[in-house]
Amino acid sequence: MNKCNQRKADTVIVLDFETTGLSPDQGDRAIEIGAVRIENGRITDRFQQLMNPDRRVSAFIEGYTGITNAMLRGAPSCKAVMTEFREFIGDFDMVAHNASFDRRFLDAELQRIRRHYTGEFACSMLVSRRVYPDAPSHKLGTLVEYKRLPTSGTFHRALADAEMTAHLWLRMLDDIADRHCIEDIPLSLMQELSRVPKASATGYLQRWRTG
């Protein structure tokens, strides 16, 4: 395993979208983006913005997120927000809890404004299943309680969820480092760890350390 010149897992953008529904392929749009920038294991910046999807959101989404149609009417357009957010991303790699969901919306919204990004993605939920196999579940709220991580008590708002995911990500890096004596963990290790069978995670990390 080549461990040289790899991008570090402790220098990433952790992001979370709130949306009108589950799939941009079905016409759903982003209504809020929240993100936390981590550099060398420290939170250095944050981004949060509502965005107007030019359609009404359902009563279910209003209740689930607390984001109302009235709030969105006065919000900037998705185009304006995503243009600003693309600048915030820079060339950082990205992390999200259930990353396939957030990545689909990021890809769809950036495609609408003909922008793209260069970083790679990792999924904190998939990694958590390997690092914390005994957790009651691997939902973000359950893991925050399980690991006693900092929380504002707010869920399903983008910046609050991104903050909690950032704390979870940093805790997982610390726990992997402590348990397996691995320093300067690259993002590629976390990506690969998310794909190995859960029963093989410990062996994979041991092989990585000695390989």
Residue 183's pLDDT is 87
Question: Residues 69, 87: contact at Cβ < 8 Å?
Answer: no
Answer whether residue 82 shows pLDDT above 80. yes
In the DSSP assignment, the letter for residue 25 is G
Position 3 in a domain: no
As for how many domains the chain has, the answer is 1
Q: How confident is the model at residue 151 (pLDDT cuts 50, 70, 90)?
A: confident
Residue 153's pLDDT is 66
Position 2 in a domain: no
Position 129 in a domain: yes
Position 7 in a domain: no
Residue 28's pLDDT is 95
Q: What is the pLDDT of residues 51-67, one digit of tens each?
A: 999 999 999 999 999 99
Residue 1's pLDDT is 45
Give the pLDDT mean for 188-198: 97
Q: What is the pLDDT of residues 100-137, one digit of tens each?
A: 999 999 999 999 999 999 999 999 999 999 999 999 99
CA 207 – CA 106 distance, rounded (Å): 34
CA 178 – CA 205 distance, rounded (Å): 12
Position 113 in a domain: yes
Q: Which domain holds residue 90?
A: 12-203
Beta strands in 57-203 (DSSP E): 93-96, 121-123
Answer whether residue 17 shows pLDDT above 50. yes
pTM: 0.94
Position 1 in a domain: no
**Which run of H or of E encompasses 45?**
strand 42-50
Answer whether residue 5 shows pLDDT above 60. no
Question: Residues 161, 155: contact at Cβ < 8 Å?
Answer: yes
Residue 173's pLDDT is 98
Q: What is the pLDDT of residues 85-98, one digit of tens each?
A: 999 999 999 999 99
What are the start-end ranges of the H helices in 90-193? Answer: 99-112, 124-131, 140-146, 158-180, 187-193
Give the pLDDT mean for 143-152: 90
Percent of the chain topping pLDDT 70:
97
Residue 6's pLDDT is 78
Position 93 in a domain: yes
CA 174 – CA 42 distance, rounded (Å): 12
Residue 119's pLDDT is 96
Position 137 in a domain: yes
Tell me the CATH number at 93.
3.30.420.10
